[in-house]
Amino acid sequence: MKLRCPVTAIDIAPGDSVVIPIEVINTSDVIESASVRIIGIDAATLSSAPTELPLFPEAVGQMEVTLALPEIFPAGTYPLTLVVAGVTPGSRSAHHNLELTVPRRPSLRLSASPSVVRARRKASFPVVIRNEGNVPLETALRATDTDRRLRTTLLPPAVTIPAGSSAQATVVVKGPRQLVGTDRDRPVTLQAHSVGTEADLVLTLQQRSTFSRGFITALILLAIVALWVLAFLFGIRYVLGTDPYTKIAPASFFAGMVTDEAGAPEDSGAPDGALPKTGAVSASVGATISGAVTSRWDGDGVARLTVDVLRQTREGLVVVSSTATQGDGSYEVSGLFPGRYLVRVSAEGYEPIWYPNARRARSARTVVTTAQQETADINLRVTGDTATLTGNVLVTDATADIAVTVTAQPTWSGADPGDTQTTTIDEQGRYSFSNLLAPARYQLTFSAEGFRSTTSTERVLGGQHRYALDVALGSGTGSISGVVTDGTDPIGGVTITTTVADETVSVGTPTVGMVGQFTLNNLPTPATYVLTFTKDGFTTRSTVVDLGAGQVVGDLEVQLAGGAGTITGKIVDEDNNGVGGVTVTVGGAATTITTTTLTGSNAGSYTLTGLTIPGQYTLTFTAEGYTDASVPVNLSVDAPSATRNATLRRGMGTVHGLVTLDNAGKAGITVRITDGNAVRETTSTATGDLGRGTYSFDALPPGSYTVTALNDAGRVVATAITRVNAGGTNRADLPMREVS
């Protein structure tokens, strides 16, 4: 088979498709049914019409190949190969190389469950940040509220998310104190920003008052009842004089059932409806115990701990009621009979503590409760089992060989310096800390030479094995400094400009003191900077400086020469696309002047300044993979500037030749060519430019190639080495020693 295709490069956005026409030639001696497949991308993205193309020997047929990409496909450039082969056993395939370019399409989406939390003052919202685009995104988070009375904490404030993946973050919202009133909605807008995209999400804290309207109403009613009772008592005393009062005990103070020594029930004389003394009563008439459970280390509240209220009985301590601590560590136990109780806190991973700070019940302090009253501030401080904290530092090409130090430092006041731990990441970017005091909050600091230190805060609970969010190191800053001269003396008043994050930054050289000296500080690295030096009466000059991670270049010396001539232009290929990285050389000047065409949005553009006028110059354009081009330029006093554009043609070569046996052309022989990286195959034909046994390979990049002929058993029977030059055609015949 032989394959011809006019397309060598395609651009497809995710979710789109493109149709590629191809021409198939049956070079065999039998009727073939040709089909096409693709190498370098998922085969499901390719379809062809027709699916199979029947061809007689030496016949030519047309096929349309459709390449469709899914909605989420990583951006970048992909080398592809179309392969056309027949269905007959032993048939030979033909290849055609393509270059697929997928543009960037960043996209973010935020979600939270729940997005509405009802709490007294503080609430935590778990947020999922999903990268629905096709490029990795460095995402910064920011939270805003309309009345500016909320305090918001983002953990972490920035994340790096691979394409098609998601990351977790926690938004902690704390509102102002609200003693009375109805619930109030306090919305917070969470915004995620990345280059080229952003997303937002509204989170709502439904803040309830410390004292609800129902509680205040109950207090008012209680006061009214108390006043009514006082009025009634004084009225009875006034009417009855010194007659004694009569008292009737309510049914709740009698045992509902009493048993004799044999365990049989007997009448206790209690009224109907009486309750046991150890039973629960209504929260509106019973006693209440409330307080908070905090960490011994950092003093923050600890959630999801079990609080038990116990009463001493003849059989020993009995748990009367239990509850769990809230997110801020607070708890409340209602419906208790008036009396004396012990309070205990326990949970897996924590040592049991008795109020106020006892390890055993006999050392605990009794809490006295009163009916219809709250015994508050029954607070306890807990200590948990030591915890483990593990995480990952995302390793990129820039950080692959960098030693990253991770430090876990306690955040609470008065922490022992010995509790700070330091480690380094392993080859996979993992780190781990063990034996951390818990529950407590730690600040993790990630540092490496030449990179900005990154910090995050993590909280570990008692006995917890916690996995922290992934962290990506940001590159550090560098600087460029040097001197501008005229070849002998330093020059003052020179303006040096460059671009940092799409913004122009400029400095000038002093005219007194350190004449000609300049410094550009706080430059993000690693990066490439184009420095432009301008001054009236001198030739404008540009210099490219590559800065590694955190690199400082301090010895740059730039010479400016007189001249005012300027040449601009743009270099394009045969498809009128700008070609970046082309070397532009000026001939005819006193010294050789070169520049390089731009890449990116203005690819192919170039500017040459400071040329002596009048003058006659020759511009030569060279680029790897393209044939050279030259244009003449005349600059005069009346016309000191000129524009010269040029078109570069791809410098691909061709190798063809004859496969012979006993000096006679041989058709149907497999011919393979390789440059050590890519391998292509074809089959010698019955007819061709050179006669029977002709083979040909087109669109070969310049370089050295090995051409071999193989028999049906796959054994090499002839070999030739040839050199392909840009735009040239080389002949390499293959005389075979044998066929079988």
Using one digit for the tens of pLDDT, what is the confidence trace for 645-693?
Answer: 999 887 788 999 999 998 899 999 999 999 888 899 999 998 888 889 9
pLDDT, greater one: 448 or 237: 448
CB 37 within 8 A of CB 61: no
pLDDT at 376: 93
Give CA–CA dist 559/490, Å, rounded. 9
Q: Dihedrals φ, ψ of 233, to 5°?
A: -65, -45
pLDDT of residue 655: 92
> What are residue 99's DSSP bridge partners?
9, 79
pLDDT > 80? residue 260: no
Among the ranges given (36-40, 211-215, 401-405), the one the predictor scored with the smallest mean pLDDT: 211-215
- Considering only the C-alpha atoms of the chain, give the largest distance between any 2 of them, rounded to a whole number of Å: 148
Q: 349 and 461 in contact (C-beta within 8 Å)?
A: yes
The rounded mean pLDDT for the chain is: 85
Residue 294 has pLDDT above 50, yes or no: yes
Query: Is the predicted pLDDT of residue 196 greater than 70, yes or no?
Result: yes
CA distance 408 to 495: 46
* Amino acid at the residue 408: A
Please say whether the beta carbons of 120 and 211 come within 8 A: no
Residue 271 and residue 620: Cα distance in Å, rounded?
A: 114
Model confidence at 379, in pLDDT bands (50, 70, 90)? very high
* Alpha-carbon span 495 to 48, nearest angstrom: 59
Least confident of 113-122, 230-239, 303-312, 370-379: 230-239
| pTM confidence score | 0.37
Rounded Cα distance between 395 and 370, Å, is: 62
Q: What was the pLDDT predicted at 605?
A: 93
Poorest-confidence range of 257-266, 312-321, 725-734?
A: 257-266
Q: Residue 556 corresponds to which tokens in the numbers above?
A: 């740059």
Residues near 691 by beta carbon (within 8 Å), at least 6 away in sequence: 658, 665
Q: Bigger pLDDT: 590 or 556?
A: 556
Model confidence at 19, in pLDDT bands (50, 70, 90)? very high
Residue 259 pLDDT > 60: no
Would the pLDDT of 139 be above 80? yes
Residue 43's SS3 state is: helix
Beta bridge partners of 321: 309
